[in-house]
Amino acid sequence: MRYFLLLILGFFAGLYLSWPGLLIPVNWKCFKEIIAKSANDKISLKAALEISPSYLLKSKNKKTSSKIRIVADACFR
C-alpha cells in the first residue's frame, strides 16, 4: 500500500512539475476552448505555435496522447 501511495504521489508531482498551471481554472478554460475550436477545424494561434516542426515531419498518424500533450503545453505552461 505504501508503494502504491508513493507511485500516485510521484505521478501527480510529475504532472505538476511538467505543467505548473494545471491547478489554475483559467488554464482549464483555455484547454476547453482549444478542444472546442479544434472540433470545428479552427485551431488557435497559441496552440499552433506549440507544435514542434519535428512533430509535423515525423509521422502522418498523430496519436491522441500527442495531441493532448500539445494542447496541454499551450495552456498549462
pLDDT at 7: 96
- pLDDT score recorded for residue 75: 77
Q: List Cβ neighbours of 46 (8 Å cut-off, separation of 6 or more).
A: 30, 34, 74, 75
Is 72 a residue whose pLDDT tops 90?
Answer: no
Q: For residue 28, what pLDDT is reported?
A: 85
pTM of the model: 0.58
Number of domains the chain contains: 1
Tens digit of pLDDT for each residue in 10-68? 999 998 888 888 888 888 888 887 777 766 666 666 666 666 656 555 656 567 777 77
Instruction: Tell me what pLDDT residue 13 has.
Output: 93
In the numeric block, the cell 498518424 is attached to 61
Q: Which domain holds residue 51?
A: 2-76
Dump the DSSP string for the chain: -HHHHHHHHHHHHHHHHH-GGGG-HHHHHHHHHHHHHHHTT---HHHHHTS-HHHHHH-SS--HHHHHHHHHHHHH-
